[in-house]
Amino acid sequence: MQFLSLYLHIPFCRTRCTYCAFNTYTDQADLINAYVQALCMEIRLLGRGDPVHTVYFGGGTPSLLSASQVAQILATVGQHFSLLPEAEITLEANPGTVRPGDWAPFRAAGVNRLSLGFQSAIAGELALFARDHTLDEVTRAVEDARSAGFDNLSLDLMYGTPGQSLKDWRHSLAFALDLAPQHLSAYALSLEPGTSLWRQVRDGRLPTPDDELAAEMYTELTEALAGAGFVQYEISNWARGERYACHNLQYWRNLPYLGLGAGAHGYIAGQRTVNVMRPEIYIRCLSGDQGGYPYPTTAATQSTERISREDAMFETIMTGLRLMVHGLSEAALPLALGKAWMNAMGR
Ligand code: SF4
């Protein structure tokens, strides 16, 4: 049976990080409640009882939602989909936005995996990125979340940043390993046009990141994590104790997911879908939606693109090549592409 994944986009942040080009807004916190109601409406409109094995609250800063708002969203998912009892339910959290007493209510709401924004253990780098948390807050967030019963924590790290030395990188890596997460993602900085960091590099106020040095950092990363007992299961992701990110595996295997929320992307029923970007427009669209749009669209869908079988096969191969444990197997293709087409291919 093919299981579905749900991506729920929460497009609110307290401040914008200097490298960030995501669809998020720093001046619209007053919309959060109406946004949650709109998200629940979209879940109702697209729910057909399909079995769901992963739910991912991404952003933005999903930890700006209250635990009761998260519980309301998950209850709506449970009413309109068949949410598997063992489903992986991830919340991206900013260590600066969560108070110690908030973790247990998030756990009670059904969240069982946390992805904590961290990026660096160098205070100067956190300032350069305008991350709105301190290192102490990261350590405290990990401790408090564990005490509240979270046993599946992921940390994000970033390397290849302007002015970052190998010594800085080793320090951030060691700091992350000391926190003993089950999962770690590490990405080389991508300077996105229009971001503050991109402008500072373009104007010569910051040095251009050194690709050779970033490659050296990646080598150190793979060695350090292997030494610490992590398995590299994707080119930028590591896990211990087989705590792979099941939600992300759905993307890398090119399997179906619904993208719900402002600016969210989905891939389902052979179509890629994109929602309207701005939260206030998203809320307006959903508040007037009486249903009747062809599945998998709603009044908040901005565009759809039908993916041909050939393109789907190409994408399955390209994303599958990122996987280093699960790999790309011939057995995975019928799952992603459908048995009938594989039969037609004579496989
Ligand atoms: S917390 Fe994440 S989504 Fe928000 S501004 Fe920073 S990088 Fe962007």
What is the domain range of residue 48?
Answer: 4-251
pLDDT band at 309 (very low <50, low <70, confident <90, very high): confident
Residues 136-161 have pLDDT tens digits of 999 999 999 999 999 999 999 999 99
Specify the residue for token string 């799952």: 335
Cα–ligand 1 centroid distance for 165 (angstroms): 23
pLDDT band at 235 (very low <50, low <70, confident <90, very high): very high
pLDDT band at 327 (very low <50, low <70, confident <90, very high): confident
- Is 166 domain-assigned? yes
Given this model, what pLDDT does residue 335 score?
64
Is residue 347 predicted with pLDDT exceeding 60? no
- Is 273 domain-assigned? no
Cβ contact 253:319 at 8 Å: yes
- Is 90 domain-assigned? yes
Given this model, what pLDDT does residue 331 score?
65
- Is 343 domain-assigned? no
> What does the pLDDT average to over 268-281?
97
Judged by phi (left if over 0) then psi (alpha if -120 to 50, else beta), residue 190 lies in beta
Tokens standing for 207?
């040095």
Select from 138, 234, 229, 235 the least CA-distant residue to 179: 138
Cβ contact 317:328 at 8 Å: yes
Cβ contact 8:61 at 8 Å: no
Check the CA dihedral 172-173-177-178 and report its sign: negative
Nearest CA to ligand 1 atom 5: 16
Where does ligand 1 bind, in terms of residues with CB under 6 Å? 13, 16-17, 20, 22, 24, 59-61, 94, 117
- Is 148 domain-assigned? yes
Q: Write the burial class of residue 286 (CB in 10 Å: 0-12 exposed, 13-18 middle, 19+ buried).
A: buried
Is residue 132 predicted with pLDDT exceeding 70? yes
Measured CA to CA, the distance from residue 296 to residue 323 in angstroms comes to 28
Is residue 344 predicted with pLDDT exceeding 70? no
Cα–ligand 1 centroid distance for 131 (angstroms): 8
pTM of the model as a whole: 0.95
Measured CA to CA, the distance from residue 27 to residue 71 in angstroms comes to 24
Nearest CA to ligand 1 atom 6: 17
Residues 72-108 have pLDDT tens digits of 999 999 999 999 999 999 999 999 889 999 999 999 9
Cα–ligand 1 centroid distance for 341 (angstroms): 40
Nearest CA to ligand 1 atom 8: 20
- Is 299 domain-assigned? no
- Is 347 domain-assigned? no
> What does the pLDDT average to over 45-73?
97
pLDDT band at 289 (very low <50, low <70, confident <90, very high): confident
Number of domains the chain is built from: 1
What is residue 116's three-state secondary structure?
A: strand
Here the CATH number for the domain that contains residue 98 is: 3.20.20.70
Distance (Å) of CA 286 to CA 37, 44, 129, 261, 300? 9, 11, 34, 10, 6
> What does the pLDDT average to over 178-185?
98
- Is 258 domain-assigned? no
Given this model, what pLDDT does residue 46 score?
97
Cα–ligand 1 centroid distance for 256 (angstroms): 26
Residues 11-20 have pLDDT tens digits of 999 999 999 9
Looking at residue 298, the DSSP 8-state letter turns out to be: -
Residue 271 identity (one-letter amino acid): Q
Q: What are phi and psi of 337, to 5 degrees?
A: -110, -15
Given this model, what pLDDT does residue 310 score?
86
